[in-house]
Structure 1
Amino acid sequence: MSEHPNVALARDSYDALAKGDLDYIRDHLLTDDVIFHIPGRGSLAGDYQGKEQVINYLSRFTEAAGKSMRFEPDSFLASEEQVAALLRIRGERGDRVLDERGVHVFRITDGKISERWSYPHDSQIIDEFFA
């Protein structure tokens, strides 16, 4: 059984982020009017609209997280317009260690990511990790 195309799209976004390939994400995976919703009260929390803002957020995220940060999807739920990734979020920053679970929900429009909601199990842990 082949993978649902929306699952492949979400998986591609995680793979490109792990490689630091933000150009690929911008040029191939996002709609022009994409929106990312990042919960919490930390410096990275907020809504990011448009490719420029989303890529800026991802750049700040990867810079703050360093090369140790990774999203490890456990499973996916997919439909024609959405995909949810149940994932483990891991990273290290100096003496801080992150090992958290969460969900990303993607809205897919014409084969690209048009919206993403992040739902960490505990957004305070994420805020503290990036503080």
Structure 2
Amino acid sequence: MTEHPNVMRMREGYEAFGKGDLERLRELWHPDIRWHEPGSNPLAGHYTGVDQVFGLFGLLFELTEGSFRAEVRATFADDTDGVAVVRLTAHRGDRDIDVVAAHLFRYEDGLVAEFQEAHTDQAAVDAFYG
């Protein structure tokens, strides 16, 4: 059984993110991607367009002193929706974070059109970034 093309695209996206390959991410995303970060912290909010999401990534890496990592544990997708279970780790000064998140993707024409994140411990995430 072969993988769904959107599962392969998800994996390519995480690999590109890990390498800092923003051009590859730009190819995998809809230009008007909508990105939703939950919580009450400096990263929380709604971002529209690739450039705003890249700005979010810049802040993420600034706050985590470049230590942020996303370890993919499982991926699932069909023609319109995808889910990744991801372990997120980082440090900030003397603080560390290690949580699991569900990343929800919505696809249009093979491109990520929308992304939402749900953490297993949102309070810990807010305290870490707050």
TM-score, with structure 1 as normaliser: 0.90
Give 1:103 deviation, angstroms.
0.1
Aligned counterparts of 1:9 and 1:86: Cα–Cα separation in 2? 15
Aligned counterparts of 1:62 and 1:11: Cα–Cα separation in 2? 21
2:74 matches 1:75: yes
In structure 2, the partner of 1:6 is 6
**Distance verdict in 2 for CA 1:21–1:2, change over 3 Å:** same
**SS of the counterpart of 1:66?**
coil
Identity %: 36
Give 1:126 deviation, angstroms.
1.3
Amino acid at match of 2:5: P
Aligned counterparts of 1:15 and 1:65: Cα–Cα separation in 2? 19
Aligned counterparts of 1:16 and 1:65: Cα–Cα separation in 2? 19
1:106-121 counterparts in 2 under 5 A? 106-121=105-120
Task: Name the count of aligned residue pairs.
Answer: 130
Amino acid at match of 2:31: D
Query: Unaligned stretches of 5+ in structure 1?
Result: none
Q: Output the aligned Cα RMSD.
A: 1.4
Are the aligned partners of 1:105 and 1:117 in contact in 2 as well (CA < 8 Å)?
yes
Give 1:15 deviation, angstroms.
1.3
**Distance verdict in 2 for CA 1:17–1:66, change over 3 Å:** farther
**Distance verdict in 2 for CA 1:116–1:127, change over 3 Å:** same
Are the aligned partners of 1:22 and 1:58 in contact in 2 as well (CA < 8 Å)?
no
Alpha-carbon deviations, 1:50-72, whole Å to 9, x = none? 12211211222122223321111
Stretches of 4+ aligned residues off by more than 3 angstroms:
none
In structure 2, the partner of 1:39 is 38
2:11 matches 1:20: no
